Amino acid sequence: MTTTRYGIKENQVRAFNKMIRVSHQKLNLVCDLVRGLPVERAVDVLKFSKKRVAGEVLKTLLSAVANAEHNKKLPVDTLFVKEIWCGKALTMKRIMAGPRGSARPILKPFSNLTIVLESGVAPSKKKAKKETTK
């Protein structure tokens, strides 16, 4: 298989979402829920998640599916989440009044999200069995 720009293969497609108003730690919790899942299952997981940022991840996932269908003509029923990651963007810094006339900082972080979908069979997750020694 040949690779195109940014190391994406011919059977892969990606989508970005920049400047999401949430910290990258909170976004990473939602990313862990859908990593490696087929697209249909990932959409169901995100629709019923109670996390606020799940809507943004769902929007980005549906954008990646649309990119696969329209731009690369990949079959939607064989897509799965190959890679999903998030990173820090800028942090807005604000000031709140503190005791005795001092100032306290308020940090409002933003995050970036990248999703890579691949067409094919999703690898199965194997659970490691615990070995008991007697």
Question: Rounded to whole angstroms, how far apart are CA atoms 11 and 74?
Answer: 7
pTM of the model: 0.85
Q: Any idea which architecture 13-119 has in CATH?
A: Alpha-Beta Complex (3.90)
Q: Give pLDDT tens digits for 54-107.
A: 999 999 999 999 999 999 999 999 999 999 999 999 999 999 999 999 999 999
Domain coordinates of the chain in residue numbers?
Answer: 13-119
On whether the CB atoms of residues 127 and 38 are closer than 8 A, the answer is: no
- 28 pairs with which residues across the strands? none
- Phi and psi angles of residue 104, each rounded to the nearest 5 degrees, phi first: -120, 135
Pairing of strands 12-20, 103-119: antiparallel
